[in-house]
Amino acid sequence: MTDTAKWLEQQAISEVECLVPDMNGVLRGKIVPAPKLLAPPTDAAIMLPNSAFMVAVTGHYTGAIDDESAYQDADMRLQPDLTSLCLAAGTRPGRAYVFCDAFAQDGTPWPSAPRQVLKSVIALYAARGWRPVMAPELEFYLTAPNPDPNVPPGAPIGISGRAETSPAPYDMEALGEFQPVIDEIYRQAELMALPLDTMIHETGAGQLEINFKHGDPLRLADQVLVFKRLVRQAAREHGLAATFMAKPIAEQASSSMHLHMSVVDAASGLNLFADEHDGDSALFSQFIGGLQAYVPQAMPLFAPNVNSFRRLKPGFSAPNNVEWARDNRTCGLRVPGSKRIGRRVENRLPGADANPYLAMAGSLLCGYLGIEEGLERRAEAPANAYTIRPNLPRTLEDALARLDGCEPVRRLLGQSFTNAFLRLKQVELENFQGVITAWERDHLFARA
């Protein structure tokens, strides 16, 4: 606490945003004066209604826990995780962020909190003396401002004054068009101590990808959400918009959140996915086997929205399978070439719209189930894995039904969380299904 007080004083922090990620990865919470962060919880408790975890992506309450709790809407107690304390994004001085864990009044962790879900999965590995290591790769689009949701996003204007309208994968000139925004992102990220690595121009017009350095999954999930907020603010300051939708533009590439994963021995730090001769370990094979068996059942954790499933199509730089192979990007599970220290599997199925806590928790628990059940991975896929018949759900409706019926995944996620998550997603799905689209009017109004 002394270090926290010193940091707040050195940074001249007067107020702190207490951040609580909801089930969609939307940051909710409240702003408190900095001294409240230092006071004992018994003297200055930070409370938040439990309905924060019952809000759909539309902003409507869903009663996602149960009817009685929905009406009662009891307070949760927020416990700041002081290790997550950082400067706030943007130009406002004197403000900081801190992520908070939610607890019931009896001190038990709030079961619908995604941060708690990820913690519980990490604890499964810790109980075996293991430590999971992850590194996200996050794609997003810069676009022209988009005030009217009925109009598709327009192409962004770069420093040349011209709109970027054509694909430009890995193009350095195209990347330079947005150098002022990129510079601002890196400048703020350094102030916020975000572990950003390389940035590239992806396939889509105005589409960029940022790589995070590998590390602790919980801390990286926090940083992914802070990064999203940072990018949106930096884009606005330069007259642009930014979106992390999985498929924001019909004719352009989709946006993903690839997750690189390995498991190390907590005591020695040795990578358990490879042996001393740099060969794949049995544990690695079982981890991939678990991903192949259970990712199709847990897809709402990786593709949580109706729009998410528009991304999972062959030929759009997105996998539609859970095949594995070495250095093969047509596979949902790619094993990059490496020595033992870097042996890992890349889960290429999560979209940029996925809640990072749940996508990471889902990836780790599917792999854990493979180890727990001794599952073996299938044979390595051919060069073009798109030729293999996919076994993934094609719609959110199908995906929710599969998750609902998968007891092993429900068990590790927690039944309370799974029930609340499914209820919330079902409400969102029904809301979407009540919308009549322009396509329906265009093709059915005068012909049906």
What are the tens digits of pLDDT across the range 305-345?
A: 999 999 988 765 678 899 999 999 999 999 998 888 889 99
> What type of residue is 400?
L
Q: How confident is the model at residue 70 (pLDDT cuts 50, 70, 90)?
A: low
- Name the nearest CA neighbour of 361 among 428, 429, 304: 304
Q: Which one-letter DSSP state was computed for residue 266?
A: T
Q: Do 363 and 347 meet the contact criterion of CB atoms below 8 Å apart?
A: yes
Q: How confident is the model at residue 39 (pLDDT cuts 50, 70, 90)?
A: confident
Q: Is 443 exposed, middle or buried (0-12, 13-18, 19+ CB in 10 A)?
A: exposed
Task: Show contacts of 101-110: CB within 8 Å, 24+ apart.
Answer: 102/20, 102/48, 102/50, 102/52, 102/53, 102/76, 102/77, 102/78, 103/76, 103/77, 103/78, 103/79, 104/74, 104/76, 104/77, 105/74, 105/75, 105/77, 110/50, 110/53, 110/76
- Does residue 394 carry a pLDDT above 90? yes
- Does residue 143 carry a pLDDT above 70? yes
Assigned fold of 1-110+414-448:
Ubiquitin-like (UB roll) (3.10.20)
CATH 3.40.50.2000 fits 122-413, yes or no: no
For the segment 75-116, what is each residue's pLDDT rounded down to a tens digit? 899 999 999 999 998 767 899 999 999 999 999 999 889 999
- Does residue 69 carry a pLDDT above 80? no
C-alpha 239 chain-centroid distance: 26
Per-domain boundaries in the chain: 1-110+414-448, 122-413
Question: pTM for this one?
Answer: 0.95
